[in-house]
Amino acid sequence: MNPARLLRLYWSRVRMFSRNIRLLLLGDLLIGLGMTFWGLLFNLYLKELGAGLGYDEAGVGMFIGKTTAIAQAAAALCALPAGFCAGRWDHKTVLIASHLLSLAAFVAAIVSPTPGGLHAFLFLAAGASVFFWVVTGPFTMENTTAEERTYVFTLAFALRLVGGVAGSILAGHLKEAAALSGLSQIAAYRGAILAGLGVSLLGVVPFLLIRGTRAAAVGERRLSLEGFRDWDWRYYGKALLPSCLLSVGAGLIVQFMNLYLKDTFPRLLDSQIGFYMSLQSATMVFGMLAAPLLAEKQGKVRTIVGTQIASLPFMLALALTHDLRVAVAAMLLRAALMNMSGPVSNTLVMELCRKREQGVLSALFTLNWNLAWAMSALAFGHMKGDYQLMFFAAIGLYIASTTLYGFLFRGAEAELERRRKALAGPVEVFEPR
């Protein structure tokens, strides 16, 4: 794929973006940069903290799994309330308030001296942050046209990953610098994570410049439980079932890839793990940017199914290898292929839904994703560090999800084209994930 053509195409689409969308993307970039510190270091911090609390190796795994599951369960519990709030409250207010509250709770969690305090504040932080992520879908739909929408979602993913590249490198080196300064391992992890949260705080600045949602528009999006029987539950099940299987499998891998590297290759420094994770983010950026062009040429369903199937051999390599070079190469290729389909799948699923139910479906996807990752976290704790079993389980779930998706959505694009012709114009669209 010609890089020059890719850049020209994206630049033409970016020029179409509204001021609000550009500000949202800038805020996403800063948040992604800062929260990468948390994503890279938090599990490693929990590993040190668990050992310091006197847990054996199995106990440390259970402690990590329980802590991660608590955060995901909190996000799941708040998903539907967040969906209803997305239809009632000004989007700008939700973006700012939820981000600030979640950051304050993350800080309290990381400095908490007890596991109970850590879990309580982490529950609050995860619950608050889900309001932010649920409202970004409706906000994006409100501020984009059908022509640019896939590119906005793709670019949003890509910018978070760009922030992840820089954040992974900075986080690993900052933690090691803190440790070399004389701090304990636990204190070094805490200091680096807090620095990342400080960077993430800068993401609120672009949100302050967003033009607020008009009251009339908010009223049009309002949802209530009174009409829940009329929601398109059949379609929700069709959209959510493959996503649930995929999410459980992804939760086993994505949440614990840093621990896989640390435990499988114990000589690796945190800065090296950060570098490899940054390479993973970089390959995902190129894959995601290429995905819309591939979807235009091959079709959305074929792109989604094809890229997900192509990632499976690399997952098998991760399960079997003890060679660092093979593991890193497989990790990069798996991530690039598996995540190419994300924005394309988001757009397709949303285009098939009723616009008025946007907040509900966005919330259901968030609920589905976080419940699945909570299940994955608990399963990881019971696997007691058996990464081979972890990858084999994920492979089975990915195969089931991809097969089911291909079957359920095999006629989706033809249906969309039929609707467009019937309406003599673009169909009202929708969005999630």
Average pLDDT, the chain: 85
Lowest mean pLDDT among 1-15, 46-60, 136-150, 164-178: 1-15
6 lies in some domain: no
Tens digits of per-residue pLDDT, 229-249?
777 788 888 889 999 999 999
Q: Which residue has the higher pLDDT, 123 or 78?
A: 123
Tens digits of per-residue pLDDT, 367-376?
888 899 999 9
Its sign, for the CA torsion 76, 78, 84, 86, is negative
12 lies in some domain: no
Is the pLDDT reported for residue 323 higher than 50?
yes
183 lies in some domain: yes
Rounded average pLDDT over 400-424: 81
pLDDT for res 34: 93
301 lies in some domain: yes
pLDDT for res 425: 42
Is residue 326 within a helix (H) or strand (E), and if so which, with residue range? helix 324-351
Is the pLDDT reported for residue 68 higher than 70?
yes
Q: 152 and 22 in contact (C-beta within 8 Å)? A: no
Confidence bin at 268 (pLDDT 50/70/90)? very high
Q: What are the DSSP calls for 371-397, one per residue? A: HHHHHHHHHHHHHTT-HHHHHHHHHHH
Token pair of 147, please?
A: 């022509």
Please state, in angstroms and as integers, the Cα–Cα distance from residue 302 to each residue in 133, 221, 341, 346, following that order: 28, 33, 10, 14
Rounded average pLDDT over 328-342: 89
Q: Which residue has the higher pLDDT, 223 or 357?
A: 357
Top-confidence range, 221-225, 279-283, 313-317, 411-415: 313-317
pLDDT for res 223: 52
DSSP 203: T
pLDDT for res 202: 96
9 lies in some domain: no
Q: How many domains does the chain have?
A: 1
Is the pLDDT reported for residue 359 higher than 80?
no
Taking phi over 0 as left and psi of -120 to 50 as alpha, with beta for the rest, 223 belongs to beta
pLDDT for res 426: 38
Is the pLDDT reported for residue 429 higher than 50?
no
pLDDT for res 249: 94
Please state, in angstroms and as integers, the Cα–Cα distance from residue 142 to each residue in 113, 197, 221, 346, following that order: 43, 29, 10, 16
Is the pLDDT reported for residue 423 higher than 70?
no
Is the pLDDT reported for residue 219 higher than 80?
no
Top-confidence range, 40-54, 77-91, 419-433: 40-54
Top-confidence range, 229-238, 308-317, 350-359: 308-317
187 lies in some domain: yes
pLDDT for res 289: 75
Domain CATH code at residue 179: 1.20.1250.20
CB proximity list for 297: less than 8 A, separation 6 or greater: none
Is the pLDDT reported for residue 117 higher than 50?
yes
Tens digits of per-residue pLDDT, 171-204?
999 999 999 999 999 999 999 999 999 999 999 9
Radius of gyration of the chain (CA): 21
225 lies in some domain: no
Q: 165 and 274 in contact (C-beta within 8 Å)? A: no
Is the pLDDT reported for residue 424 higher than 70?
no
pLDDT for res 220: 47
Is the pLDDT reported for residue 50 higher than 70?
yes
Q: How far is 122 from 324, CA to CA, in rounded Å?
A: 33
Confidence bin at 71 (pLDDT 50/70/90)? very high
Q: How far is 276 from 278, CA to CA, in rounded Å?
A: 5
Other CB atoms within 10 A of residue 76 CB: 21
Domain of residue 170: give its range: 18-211+231-423
The structure tokens 């668990």 sit at 50
Count, in order, helices (H) and strands (E) of the chain.
Answer: 18, 0
Is the pLDDT reported for residue 427 higher than 80?
no
Q: How far is 432 from 135, CA to CA, in rounded Å?
A: 10
CB proximity list for 231: less than 8 A, separation 6 or greater: 357, 360
Is the pLDDT reported for residue 227 higher than 70?
no
First to last CA, the chain: 27
139 lies in some domain: yes
Q: 95 and 46 in contact (C-beta within 8 Å)? A: no
